[in-house]
Amino acid sequence: MTYFLGVDLGTSSLKIILGNDTGELLGSTSNTFAISSPKAGYSEENPVDWQRAFDRAMTDLITQFPEIVEASLILGFSGQMHSLVLIDQTGKVLRPAILWNDGRTSAEVQQLRETLGEHLLSVEKNIPLEGFTLPKIMWVQKHQPEIWTQTWKFMLPKDYLVYYLTGLVFTEPSDAAGTIMLDVEKQCWDEELLKQLNISLEQCPKIQPSTKIIGEMKSDLKQRFGFKGSVELVMGGADNACGAFGNLTDPQAQGLISVGTSGVVLTYETEKPQQDLGKYHYFTSVMADQNYKMGVTLAAGYSLDWLKKLLAPEESFTAFTQSAADSPIGSQGVTFLPYLFGERSPYFDPSLSGALLGLRAHHTRSDIIRGVMEGIAFSLRNVYENMGIQSTAAIEVFRITGGVVKNPFWLQLFADVFQTKIEVLSFDEGPAYGAMLCAVAGKNDSPIFATWQAANRVKVVYQPNSDQASDYQKAYEQFKKLSDQQAATN
């Protein structure tokens, strides 16, 4: 029997899920690691911590399922996008990884906008932002030139993990697109851009297909874990690309909403982008010749968690959010702007701030809780409406993933706010599931892949209530008006 493993290297933890070749999801395990913030606006991690998290999680998985040590294994990977890892010729990590949510690169972003903005929009299909990899490289070049001089390769987080396991330096198109150094149409590094910014092609990892087997686990690691069979690896993809791969089966009709710490709206692009580039992210998927649009609300689920810590730190989330149903649509005039970290889409303004507006003496805790839940959904609708008319008109159903799937009230709220059918699938394993599907695809066995695609069935469907559409529309228009006003005055 062949077992498939999906490894997701997130921002604060590493997760591994395990499945077999009959389409059965067997179990999972995870391990955490810490983020460091040595200065205001800095966000870093030690890549060695990712290795240790993998080792601990894999050891735990073997304890749960000892039969895998005798079997053939294929591992697929997903990971946090954009974060920068630098290594020298010996494989030594030269500095802590600069994470996607690090905010130190505003000067570099401004430089790119002024000097290469049109080029980036034309070739990379994106505008420069602090979160992307290229400004981080430029920051190292400027502030730590001695480290850049020693740099043999830059990597993305999941690619570093693959390097640790195989000794091979690769990436794949979905993560490469998030560096904003990839020629999206040609699917190769943009050598003209690299030359202008003194980045050598040799410092870039070679790009491999997301579902191609690229090598085997190093023999010393196989021995340490006790593996007797083959342990092969595919690159997998960026976290959101893997999330889409694991949840969407009809690129033309389905969209993805993910509500975790941040929130994401994602739709596959069936045509080359003709308009509105720069109002959303445009990246490459894990499937050949398939790109996607994506927008991000930085503080989605985080906003609700933030409110709970302020109002009811000891209360369960279920009990805390239940009272939201006691407040009417529109939260009696309370409007929440979820810009606690500034905002990515559609304003791209790190100076925006969160706000609870319209508060009066008669408002209750229920109004505030509902207002925050509505504000997060309104923000993601705003993101979606700025992703272009072509995709908007095509989406018939959104599949939703993340912590939101545990909350039926919020799921119905999303269906009503978007006025679109919302589906929850049987497996909500996040990007790890898409990474495992990349591993399944790597076996190049069509019946097994079809079995796995069919395994993740629709569990619950939420239909939009047309009777409530008008009330939600009024509340959304108020949210949009207040958001636009803040963006215009910043």
Q: Six-digit token pair at 22?
A: 């009959």
For residue 284, give the 3-state DSSP assignment: strand
Question: 429, 25 in Cβ contact below 8 A?
Answer: yes
Question: 207, 188 in Cβ contact below 8 A?
Answer: yes
Distance CA 204, CA 434 (A): 25
Query: By 3-state DSSP, what share of the chain in percent is helix, strand and coil, each rounded to 5?
Result: 45, 25, 35
Question: 384, 279 in Cβ contact below 8 A?
Answer: no
Q: Is the peptide bond before 346 cis (omega within 30 degrees of 0)?
A: yes
CA angle 338, 340, 341 (to 5 degrees): 120
Distance CA 489, CA 469 (A): 30
Question: 147, 162 in Cβ contact below 8 A?
Answer: no
Question: Positive or negative CA dihedral for 344, 348, 350, 352?
Answer: negative
E strands, 352-474, where? 355-357, 397-402, 421-425, 458-462
Residues 123-174 pLDDT 10s: 999 999 999 999 999 999 999 999 999 999 999 999 999 999 999 999 999 9
Residue 453, exposed/middle/buried by CB under 10 A (0-12, 13-18, 19+)?
A: middle
Q: Six-digit token pair at 86?
A: 């630098």
pLDDT at 251: 87
pLDDT at 388: 75
Distance CA 108, CA 129 (A): 9
- Give the number of other Cβ atoms within 10 Å of residue 277's Cβ: 16
For residue 211, give the 3-state DSSP assignment: coil
Distance CA 448, CA 437 (A): 10
DSSP state of 314: T
Q: Six-digit token pair at 15?
A: 């997760």
Q: How far is CA 20 from the centre of its chain?
A: 25
Q: Six-digit token pair at 483?
A: 């958001």
Which one-letter amino acid corresponds to residue 23?
G
E strands, 21-144, where? 25-32, 44-45, 72-79, 85-87, 97-98
Measured CA distances, 179 to 142, 404, 486 (Å): 18, 29, 29
Closest CA to 62 of 13, 11, 3, 9: 3
Domains and their CATH numbers in the chain: 2-235 (3.30.420.40), 248-425+457-490 (3.30.420.40)
Which one-letter amino acid corresponds to residue 131?
G
Phi/psi at 150 (5° precision): -80, -10
pLDDT at 6: 98
Question: 95, 47 in Cβ contact below 8 A?
Answer: no
Residues in the chain: 490
Distance CA 440, CA 21 (A): 8
Distance CA 241, CA 183 (A): 17
Helices (H) and strands (E) in the chain, counts: 17, 24
pLDDT at 389: 54
DSSP state of 325: G
Question: 214, 208 in Cβ contact below 8 A?
Answer: yes
Question: 221, 165 in Cβ contact below 8 A?
Answer: yes
Phi/psi at 297 (5° precision): -100, 115
pLDDT at 276: 78
Convert 352-390 to b/e letters by CB count within 10 Å (16 or more is b): bebbbebeeeebeebbbbbbbbbbbbbbbbbbbbbbbeb
For residue 102, give the 3-state DSSP assignment: coil
Residues 227-259 pLDDT 10s: 999 999 999 999 999 999 999 999 889 999 999
**Which stretches of the chain drop beneath a pLDDT of 50?**
391-392
- Average predicted confidence (pLDDT) for the chain: 95
Q: Six-digit token pair at 433?
A: 């599931």
